[in-house]
Structure 1
Amino acid sequence: MADYREIITKSIVAKGRKFTQSNHTINPPHPPSSILGCWIINHSYRARKQGKKVEIVGQYDINVWYSHHDNTKTSVVTETVDYADVIKLRYRDSDVIDDKEVVARVIQQPNCVEAEIAKGNKIVVNVEREFLAEVIGETKVVVNITQGNFSDDDDWDFDDVDDDELEEEINPEFLESSKER
């Protein structure tokens, strides 16, 4: 009859992934003539578990470089955007002991897909981002314990190593000679 042991260990017990596209409207101080560039910087976020979902709350700065006054001047307008993404989780283990630890990773940093001038002299920026959330929890693993004999050719036999051979290979003045350099 086999002997079993129950081991409690931490493992990934649930995962979720979410891709988001969002539009942000920016009101520049001057009516834009054309968009010269758009980039997103200073992205920060935090994640927390809420029920069977993970909420990621974050923010980033949108910088739009644009021309105005009939393409004779340029300016950069910056706007900080707050967001909240909710990721549904798929559980792999229904017998989770503790599942409060959340690890969220950015698969795709917020990125400007398109920026265009809209009616009313506004700039509409299309942004995409993607996250992966993993929930780490304590779970129980059952392992089979077997009582067996190790054969002579296993790597577990260290009796063939002679202590005298080891002492011959060790240079006791190694540290002393390295100090002199």
Structure 2
Amino acid sequence: MRQLRHIVTKAVIAKGKKRTECSETLRPPNSPSSILGCWVINHTYQAKKNGKFVEVTGKYDINVWYAYNNHTKTAVFSESIPYRERIKLHYRDEEPTGKEEVYIRVLQQPNCIEAVIAPDGDHFVVTIERELLAEVVGETTICINIHPMDFEEEWDFEEESSSSSSSSEQHRSSSTSSSDVSSNLESSSFRKK
């Protein structure tokens, strides 16, 4: 007869994913002549659950290497960009009421897609992409079948001998063969006489 058991355990009960593409305006102290490079570093973030959403607050630094003064000088302009993201959660079951933990995985670190000088020539327009995955871990109940253990399952296995017993057996066989050799020598010498 089958029986059912309910087990309360922790599992991922909700997920959400969001990809964002945004443009940032940076105003360097000098009017740029050209952009030589752009990179994004120092991404930090934290998250908390708010209803059926996860709110992520974070920041990253945009660094733009540019030439100015009619391409005679270069400089790196850096600015820290804060952001706030709301990721909608999709629950596998009903929304629980207990304590939950929120985990964020960065699928795509903030990355510069495009960096251009604005038409007026005094600032940069940088396009940034990023992608975040939110997972909520909470208590859930799983149901399993229980089968009574009236018998033990058969196991197929081979017996192995340990190295110490095999070495003692080798020692025993070698001592036996040496005694056989000495007795054979004695009997052969006796015949000669």
Superposition TM-score tier, normalisation by shorter sequence: 0.7 to 0.9
Matches within 5 A, 1:99-114: 100-114=100-114
CA–CA distance in 2 between the matches of 1:118 and 1:36? 15
- When normalised by structure 2's length, the TM-score is 0.78
| Cα deviation 1:87-139 (Å, max 9, x = unaligned) | 11110021635352011010000000000111341101000000011000100
- Mark the structure with the bigger radius of gyration: 2
In terms of mean alpha carbon deviation, does 56-65 or 93-102 score higher? 93-102
Q: Aligned runs of 1:23-38 on 2, under 5 Å? A: 23-38=23-38
Shift in Å, 1:154: 2.9
CA distance in 2, matches of 1:55, 1:138: 21
- More helix by percentage: 2
* Aligned twin of 1:84: 84
Unpaired stretches in structure 2, ≥5 consecutive residues: 166-193
Could you say which residue in structure 2 is the equivalent of 1:62? Answer: 62
**Partners of 2:34 and 2:74 in 1: CA distance:** 9
Aligned residues: 164
| DSSP 3-state at the match of 2:30 | coil
- Which residue does 1:146 correspond to in 2? 147
- Are 1:136 and 2:137 counterparts? yes
> Does the Cα contact within 8 Å between 1:97 and 1:139 map onto a contact in 2?
no
127-136 vs 88-97, which moves further: 88-97
| Cα distance, 1:161–1:97 mapped onto 2, change above 3 Å | farther
Separation in 2, partners of 1:95, 1:81: 34
Q: SS of the residue aligned with 1:98?
A: coil
Which amino acid is 2:111 matched to?
Answer: N
For structure 1, the 5+ residue unaligned runs are 170-181
3-state SS of 1:119 partner: coil
CA RMSD of aligned residues (A): 2.2
CA contact (8 A) 1:97 1:137 kept: no
Structure 1: 4+ residue segments shifted above 6 A: none
What is the TM-score normalised by the length of structure 1?
0.83
Identity %: 49
Match of 1:179 in 2: none
Instruction: Write 1 or 2 for the structure with the bigger share of strand.
Output: 1
Does the Cα contact within 8 Å between 1:28 and 1:77 map onto a contact in 2?
yes
